A and B are shown apart, each in its own frame.
Chain A
Amino acid sequence: MPVYKAPLETMRFVLNDVLNVSQLSQLPGYEQATPDLMESILAEGSKFCEEVLFPLNQSGDQEGCHFDNGQVTTPKGFKEAYASYTQGGWTSLSADPVYGGMGMPHLWNLVFMEMICSSNMSFGMYPGLSEGAYRAILHHGSEDLKKTYLPKMITGEWAGTMCLTEPHCGTDLGLIRTKAIPNGQGQYEITGTKIFISAGDHDLTDNIIHLVLAKLPDAPEGAKGISLFIVPKFLVDTHAANHVTCGSIEHKMGIKASATCVMNFDTSIGWLVGEPNKGLKAMFTMMNAARLGVGMQGLGLAEVAWQNGFSYARDRLQMRALDGTKYPDKPADPILVHPDVRKMLLTSKAFCEGARALSYWVGLHLDIAEKHPDSIKRQEADDLVALLTPIIKAYQTDMGFEIANLAIQIHGGHGYIREYGVEQYARDARIAMIYEGTNGIQALDLVGRKMSQNYGRLLRRFFHPVLEFMTQYQEDETLGKLVVPLSKAFTKLQQATIQIGLKSLKDPNEAGAASTDFLRLFALVAVGFMWIKMAKVAQDKLIAGDTDKTEFYQSKIKTARFFIERMLPEAESRYRMIMAGAEPLMSMTESEFIA
């Protein structure tokens, strides 16, 4: 049976010691968001995840969702867990108080999301999608729509979905065919078929509020002709069914307890959200949040996978240590003694803790961007979030799958067997690299939009603090050893940035060809930066004589070293691949591919 314990100690370290999140309570509107309240929420939230959600993870995977007569039923226990989730008020944690939310920081929500994804990613899809829909209405809906829909979405009585994908288009939403015809009474009749709709139908709530992308009759071609609509499953005033039906559910590799639905809209009544033809733009403003959420899925699964890998590595006795027997009283040594097993575990640990620091850092800026009284500070924070969001989404989900894969490897043959539960993490993790914009699209977002936006202003929001930090500590006796390799990687990142910029002016394929390697290079530098920051804090604590936790801080310093010495070197190879340019990819003709 798999195990999960929320890593509260390292979470606290990042939140309190590295990021100093007590600053949140100084922001107007966050007066109540004090560290002791955060502590209670972490404690209660982790208890809920460990005791209620985690035990349903394996059974939910094995049972899957059911589809009978157009109705979707979630696996055993999900309905009760959802009820206790909403009764606990968790759906409202960082929702707007104007509509009944608790108004707590987005960062806290992000931390809680990590725990949910570790304990039961499929379950997390339901409130996760609702939150996306909630946000789209909050930012773009009229006051009337907000009053009608938000309060019950915040309490969790109603759920939500995001209906974008159609059979012939996923990435290229400009191609959608779902139609919206004005009905002459201020509403629209929506007709069309959406596929792959997460939480499209289920038995958890009384109503489901669909956010649907559709085209008005006179809409321009392509992405500029798409509008966003609210289409409830049941009409709010009459409770009448709104001709929204689930055609079937998909049978899929992972997240089996999350219903992935074909949704048919047949002259269903819809309400326009935001302006006509600006639907895609409206979607994008809330996409950052959703993409960060998917990044947390990668991290959450990596965390639970490696916890299990570690506990197995301590127990499993196979072979003797290369440098001599460590446990003579046992028939063999635990596999934790073997260098290759350690490498897999340390890769996992270094990723999880480094990515956690990066995600929470960005989460903190999400709050600063929203609440800081100084508009310049808000803008700066918003820039940083925009820049790092595709990196968090793509890097953390690539790695989420990779770490889950390592957990299987650590378990040997038992990892491939269902009983231990780790193969599920790999299956569940795989989708996060695909939806909410594939990781390839994230990389294009980074090189195509974020990099050049406002003449590189977004980049400077990251480059400047990194540079400043490195200059300050490169001479430091202990930290210097870590800073030097990081500054080398950082230089490569800067050079790559310039080269891609220049080359893609001549040939746009250059940007596309470099994109995923560039994103990885960027991620490695960003996580390396977080690790050195953590090592710095740990070192300061040790110097200050915080001896109760000596082992904890030493572990941080050693993991920082591992990251810098055994993971950051990948930056070098990525740099060389970027520099090789588009030619090796583009010179192959279509017929040469099969020659």
Chain B
Amino acid sequence: MKIIVPVKRVVDYNVKIRIKADQSGVELTNVKMSLNPFDEIAVEEAVRMKEKGLAKEVVVVTIGPAVAQDVLRTSMAIGADRGILITTPLPTDLGGLEPLSVAKLLKSIVLKEQPNLVIMGKQSIDDDSNQTGQMLAALLNWPQATFASKIDVNDSKTTATITREIDGGLDVVACALPAIVTTDLRLNTPRYASLPNIMKAKQKPLETIDSGSLGVDTSPRLKMVGLTDPPKRAGGIKVASVDELIAKLKTDAKVI
């Protein structure tokens, strides 16, 4: 079985983001970037399948500038076998390459690589779109199982049973392979890469493809009007009685 894991380089989850003065996006100069946490979980899951003998090869793909290859190396240090970097001149966060374009670029890689399974993060923490996996499944006409907290591939590797996290609880679905699975936080806890594996990762093959050569129209369909901080929370008030509370909920907050 071959598994493809798309990964993205995003602002590190520890960074307190700042919005650019001209509201054109999030300030990224000198900001720590790292592997999107949901994608890290996806890589970990794929590598575990490989360690269990379920998968033969794990291929990681990223779309971004040349420096984005560091997330491929990080993924290979976790245990992925090789990496594909699709270079693009567009930014990959808000106002740049859109989920649909990403899904189309990934589709061309999937068609070329013919994997049995694509495991990817349910969303990237920069724009939180939560769309790419779903779109990729639709473009390929493959089954999809989103927000996975457990993935069981059957012995013949033709179907998988996925436990999904939904608002009301857990949803268990079965699907035929190949399929797209997107990961939720509780699927696994990614390991710390070991030194020998970090060193091995340097030697693993990394192919670079120019996005222009894939024949995909990546021109934006959305226009970003502006980006602002959420309004500061105003201080609360104390109400004297239940009646006053109900009145305020009716007249001020207009929620009841």
Contacts and interface: CB of A to CB of B under 8 A. Distances in A.
Interface of A: 5, 8-9, 32, 34, 36-37, 39-41, 43-44, 47-48, 52, 84, 87-90, 92-93, 102, 548-549, 552
Nearest to B32: A8
B59 interface: no
Given A40-B201, A41-B195, 17 more contacts: A36-B202, A37-B198, A40-B70, A40-B74, A40-B202, A41-B198, A44-B77, A44-B192, A44-B193, A88-B192, A88-B193, A88-B194, A88-B195, A89-B195, A93-B195, A102-B196, A552-B30
B73 interface: yes
Interface of B: 14, 29-30, 32, 34, 70, 73-74, 77, 192-196, 198-199, 201-202
A32 B34 CA distance: 24
B201 A89 contact: no
A552 B30 CA distance: 10
A36 B77 CA distance: 13
B30 A44 contact: no
19 contacts: A32-B199, A36-B73, A37-B199, A40-B73, A40-B74, A40-B77, A40-B198, A40-B202, A41-B198, A43-B74, A44-B192, A44-B193, A44-B195, A47-B192, A88-B194, A89-B196, A102-B196, A102-B199, A548-B29
A36 B66 CA distance: 14
Contacts of B195: 41, 44, 88-90, 92-93, 102
A244 B74 CA distance: 44
Interface of A is mostly: helix
Contacts of A32: 199, 202
Contacts of A5: 14
Interface of B is mostly: helix
A51 to B, nearest CB: 8
Given A44-B77, A52-B192, A88-B195, A548 B30 contact: yes
A172 to B, nearest CB: 40
A84 B192 contact: yes
A58 B62 CA distance: 39
Nearest to A86: B194
A169 B73 CA distance: 52
B82 to A, nearest CB: 17
A44 B202 contact: no
Nearest to A37: B202
A43 B199 CA distance: 13
Contacts of B193: 40, 44, 88
Contacts of A89: 194-196
A332 B196 CA distance: 52
Give 8 closest A-B pairs by Cβ, nearest first.
Answer: A89-B195, A89-B194, A88-B194, A40-B198, A548-B29, A44-B193, A89-B196, A48-B192
A290 B162 CA distance: 52
Contacts of B198: 37, 40-41, 44
B255 to A, nearest CB: 30
A90 B194 CA distance: 8
Nearest to B69: A36
A47 B73 CA distance: 16
Contacts of A36: 73, 202
Contacts of B29: 548
Contacts of A87: 194
Contacts of A92: 195
A43 B33 CA distance: 11
A18 to B, nearest CB: 18
Nearest to B195: A89
B233 to A, nearest CB: 15
Residue picked from A34, A43, A47, A90, most chain B C-beta under 10 Å: A43
Nearest to A52: B192
Contacts of B196: 89, 102
Residue picked from B14, B34, B192, most chain A C-beta under 10 Å: B192
Residue picked from B77, B196, B199, most chain A C-beta under 10 Å: B199
A543 B95 CA distance: 33
Nearest to A34: B202
A360 B32 CA distance: 23
Contacts of B32: 8
Contacts of B199: 32, 37, 102
Nearest to A51: B192
Residue picked from A8, A36, A84, A88, most chain B C-beta under 10 Å: A88
A5 B13 CA distance: 13
A362 B199 CA distance: 25
A43 B40 CA distance: 15
Contacts of A548: 29-30
Nearest to A88: B194
Contacts of B194: 87-89
A41 B34 CA distance: 14
A47 B34 CA distance: 11
Contacts of B202: 32, 34, 36-37, 40
B15 to A, nearest CB: 10
